[in-house]
Structure 1
Amino acid sequence: MEEVEGRYDEADRERIVPEPPKRVDAPERRPFERDRARVVHAASFRRLAAKTQVVGPQSDDFVRNRLTHSLEVAQIARDLSRALGTHPDIAETAALAHDLGHPPYGHNGERALHLLAADCGGFEGNAQTLRLLTRLEAKTPGAGLNLTRATLDACTKYPWPLADAPRTGGVHADGMTREGSKFGVYDDDRPAFDWLRRGAPAGLRRCVEAQVMDLADDVAYSVHDVEDGTVAGTVDLTRLDRAGVWETVRAWYAPDLDDDALDEVLARLQRIGSWPTAAHDGTRGSLAALKNLTSDLIGRFCGAVQQATFAASDGPFVRYRADLVIPEETSAEITVLKGIAAHYVMQADERVALQARQRELLAELVTTLLARAPDGLDETFLPDWHAAADDAARLRVVIDQVASLTDASAEGWHHRLCR
């Protein structure tokens, strides 16, 4: 660890607000270890347990929520980071934090709030994450959690404002159509963003630690959504409707992959020794076999990326001195798993109808809070409301308030305020 620590300089460890040394009897922790602890103890991190990942957290005891997903992403990011020689605490903290800005109902709620926030610069979960880390979380007044520069940069999946954002299109992991462009900072959070990007190369390049976090997220949900669907009985890996799945893959993720290419990708996956040959039956043996497949897939994807990255560069794999390399074959295999989950889990008619009702609920809640504020706002947001200089700033406060809610608390607030 000492060798890895030495690859990061004082600028990487700098915080927006300088902090005095801790008392001498406190346990000694390095700066990046402190960053991780601050995210783990943050209120927005705890709320992830009650926020939608793919289906609502109240629907099943087994299904993953945003918190369990984030923990799994963190484990993958830490292991891959250690293998590459990148600082594992930075990558793990970025993974733990990557979904903090998600509002109630996941990407569905993000879509609704983006439309509602048009007059104050829109809404984006990754930009909201940066806002939480640098402003809204209560640790250091004016600086949020006051994380180090290297950690904040690793948390920035889309290091650009809306005005510079490339058009993305497509769909999110949960099947929700992407509305507009992905971006990582609101205009009024530019001072913190410009500070954390100090020393970064010009353009839209991400540091390698952010690339590790992003890949870990991709690997986690591609594998775990299939696992969840298998346990729920909606996915049977031994009897796939190839035509239907391939149509979904092309419509959602990879329009240029034809049937022959996708057949070859699936054949490679089926040659993995733990790929099932019998339908899942819910027994301990079947569950163990499914867990072995999950482990093998994660190891396969991360191992391929590690080998390709080492082949492309001698490193060191720190900040902007190298980039992660994802082989095309690995990307295609991850895409096929996403397509399987999308086809069998995310296109159900009842889910689409539920999402429409969720968007209506958030719209009514934002409208009601705007009309009643500051009445109705949590005490945490009252100073922001009173300091707001115009209608756009006041709208942003209401959006921050609603985005902070869990699925259940959004419904409770709606029942209390909008009935």
Structure 2
Amino acid sequence: MPFETHPRTSVRSGTVAVYTPWDEERWVSEPAKNPRRSAFQRDRARVLHSAGLRRLGAKTQVVSPGTDDFVRTRLTHSLEVAQVGRELARYLGCDPDIVDTACLSHDLGHPPFGHHGETILDALCIDIGGFEGNAQTLRLVTRIEPKVIADDGRPAGLNLTRASLDALTKYPWSRSEASAGRRDSGVRKFGVYDDDRGVFDFYRDGIENGKRCIEAQVMDLADDISYSVHDVEDAIAGGHLHLGEFAAESRRAELFDITRKWYLPTTSDEEMDKALSRLQAAAYWPADVYDGSRKAQATLKHMTSQLIGRFVGAAEAATREEFGWEPLARYAASLVVPEPTVVEIAVLKGMATLTVMVAEDRLRLHDIQSAVITELAQWYSAMPTKLDPMFRADYFEAADDAARLRVVVDQIASLTDHSAWALYHQLKAGAGDRL
């Protein structure tokens, strides 16, 4: 199979594409720094040392943190995404630090309880523009995270460069732009709230609406690869997923249905069946039932490594075939991911979705999580003095009820799974007024 055998390549002795001073500009001008570090190296360091990144260690990836010492959190997932993205950036010649920054940042805005937490907050924000984890990420790095304050008192968050902000914007459009022209009632994911439009327009100035730079595309693929491969690994190790179960036609049909519903709405059963069969035919696909032994763990880890190499290699080869061997950066090229690779990644994501995310015990937990977030929102709105000092100041400076609700949501989105549960239990115990 051609997309299993792509050799690793390097770009002319590690040459990186040239970035302009415009790419290095920040929303708030800063004094010149030590020239031994690039502006993009500073961006990466700012994210790496941020409170938002640390909090990801206690936020749900797929399985809640604390239920199993093995499973990934949002933090370990982000570190793995950064490793995959940085390597692919190096192969293609775009700045690895920009891609690393984008990968480390990509989940910063996600609230407690994973994607279900997003859904709950979006419902709470229905009248003020909704909630979206990616838009919240932009809000966090450009406003909430304390690092740089402008001379006029305006918070600038981490004050990252234009190129890094553009690279971490997976969906470069607003909610209204996402839903414009849609025939259904759904809303696509989006990357900016209306009241964060100022900084968005700053770093997107002159860029075609909706177009993504190659660094953002690399980050997005690294996220998909890590999500698909590592969530399957977690599901297998946790006893939720048994690869042999998909030999049965009925189980394959369930897998294809959930994959189509969540990830590939226009892909046929035949295409997904071929993708699954290719994966099952790979020499590294585990043949034995996972029993937790050292051999089984090594076999599972070998599969994850090989799958990452398979997907990265396919994208690298296809992109080079389309755009040649010069260093590729910003809007000089687009990442090319072969359709068979896209389907294989989606089928793996479907496995984790089917066996973990929509399992009955998981859905029962969702009801409890909905109560936690809803009651915390009501409590903070009724008692804003209980907000953390940073958010409390934002709340009392807010111009109207919509802005005040947005601050309450900022506070809740910053909570970890553990801190959200702890606050909720204190409220239910009648201690809310003493917190």
TM-score category (smaller protein)? over 0.9
Q: How many residues align?
A: 406
Corresponding position of 1:407: 417
Instruction: Say whether residues 1:135 and 2:148 are aligned partners.
Output: no
1:280-295 equivalences under 5 Å are 280-295=290-305
- Cα separation, 1, equivalents of 2:102 and 2:349: 23
Say which of 107, 120, 127 aligns to 2:128: 120
Corresponding position of 1:15: 26
Stretches of structure 1 that go unaligned for 5 or more consecutive residues are 170-177
- Cα separation, 1, equivalents of 2:198 and 2:15: 29
Contact kept? 1:73, 1:95, Cα under 8 Å = yes
Shift of 1:30: 1.1
Contact kept? 1:168, 1:182, Cα under 8 Å = no
Q: Specify the SS of the correspondent of 2:87.
A: helix
Shift of 1:302: 0.7
Alignment-mate amino acid for residue 169 of structure 2? T
Corresponding position of 1:322: 333
Say which of 91, 94, 109 aligns to 1:101: 109
- Cα separation, 2, equivalents of 1:204 and 1:117: 24
- Cα separation, 2, equivalents of 1:88 and 1:168: 36
- Cα separation, 1, equivalents of 2:423 and 2:186: 26
Instruction: Say whether residues 1:163 and 2:157 are aligned partners.
Output: no
- Going from structure 1 to structure 2, the CA distance change for 1:304 and 1:6 (only over 3 Å counts) comes to closer
Corresponding position of 2:240: 234
| CA deviations over 1:162-193 (Å, ceiling 9, x no partner) | 11014799xxxxxxxx9733111111111111
- Going from structure 1 to structure 2, the CA distance change for 1:311 and 1:5 (only over 3 Å counts) comes to closer
Shift of 1:8: 0.2
- Cα separation, 2, equivalents of 1:79 and 1:168: 37
- Cα separation, 2, equivalents of 1:49 and 1:75: 17
- Going from structure 1 to structure 2, the CA distance change for 1:385 and 1:247 (only over 3 Å counts) comes to closer
Instruction: Say whether residues 1:89 and 2:101 are aligned partners.
Output: no
Contact kept? 1:50, 1:66, Cα under 8 Å = yes
- Cα separation, 2, equivalents of 1:294 and 1:366: 39
Contact kept? 2:17, 2:327, Cα under 8 Å = no
TM-score, L = length of structure 1: 0.92
Contact kept? 1:45, 1:100, Cα under 8 Å = yes
Corresponding position of 1:183: 190
Say which of 240, 255, 260 aligns to 1:250: 260
Shift of 1:5: 5.4
- Cα separation, 2, equivalents of 1:377 and 1:37: 28
- Cα separation, 1, equivalents of 2:375 and 2:386: 14
Report the identity percentage. 54
- Going from structure 1 to structure 2, the CA distance change for 1:277 and 1:38 (only over 3 Å counts) comes to same
Q: Which range moves more in the overlay, 117-126 or 140-149?
A: 117-126
- Going from structure 1 to structure 2, the CA distance change for 1:37 and 1:179 (only over 3 Å counts) comes to farther
Shift of 1:273: 1.4
| CA deviations over 1:384-417 (Å, ceiling 9, x no partner) | 1121111111111111111110011111222334
- Cα separation, 2, equivalents of 1:414 and 1:71: 30
Say which of 253, 277, 280 aligns to 1:267: 277
List structure 1 segments (4+ residues) > 6 angstroms apart after TM superposition: none
- Going from structure 1 to structure 2, the CA distance change for 1:146 and 1:58 (only over 3 Å counts) comes to same
Corresponding position of 1:341: 352
